Amino acid sequence: MSVLRGMLLAVMLCTAGQAQALSCLRADAAATYLKAANSDTQYMVVLGRFLFDGSALKTAAEDMKQSRQARQTPARFSGYYLTKAGFVAPWSSTIGLQVDCAASWCGSLQSGVQTLAFVQTNGAEHTLHLSPCGDTTFVNPNADDIGSVVACHKGRQCGSNTIR
């Protein structure tokens, strides 16, 4: 009987550990566009490169994991923002990178890599929330990701939805 209890306890412990794992579906640029468009928060969709101190971002993530104290890491963005004509308007600005975590899983970004991003704007303040599931940033986006966001912005087919 004690062997059976031991096996049952082992199964329960394994199951409990798996239940705490973060499960993210592959992020979809069109779905993220729709989420941003339907939000009360204002977003700017940008395509370009963020330059920042990677060790500072890693420290911000550790702080967020341990103490839940959010702090921003400054980044310099250089690239384009989305217009009805596509990503044709040059734009550069300082943007705060905000690491968001779910349990011990935190968002991240690599400096200098081509990125399609959904940046929150509040007047002259710009913040990119780096979610643990990566649904606000699309690193090295492919033509389909970029094309779907442009189509959404033009009011065309947006993923499985049509914008009206």
pLDDT tens, N- to C-terminus, the chain (164 residues) = 454 444 444 444 444 444 445 567 778 999 999 999 999 999 999 999 999 998 888 887 777 777 776 778 999 999 999 999 999 999 999 999 998 888 778 889 999 999 999 999 998 999 999 988 889 999 999 999 999 999 999 998 887 655 54
- Amino acid 69: pLDDT: 67
* Any domain includes 19: no
CA distance 92 to 56: 21
Q: What is the DSSP-derived secondary structure letter of residue 129?
A: E
- Amino acid 24: pLDDT: 79
DSSP states of 72-130: EEEEEEEEEEEETTEEEEEEEEEEEEEE-EETTEE----TT-EEEEEEEEETTEEEEEE
* Any domain includes 6: no
- Amino acid 21: pLDDT: 55
Assess contact for 118 and 145: CB atoms under 8 A.
Answer: no
Tokens matching residue 42: 């204002």
* Any domain includes 66: yes
* Any domain includes 18: no
Nearest to 136 by CA among 80, 97, 103: 97
* Any domain includes 20: no
* Domain boundaries, position 66: 25-162
Domains contained in the chain, number = 1
* Any domain includes 11: no
* Any domain includes 2: no
* Any domain includes 105: yes
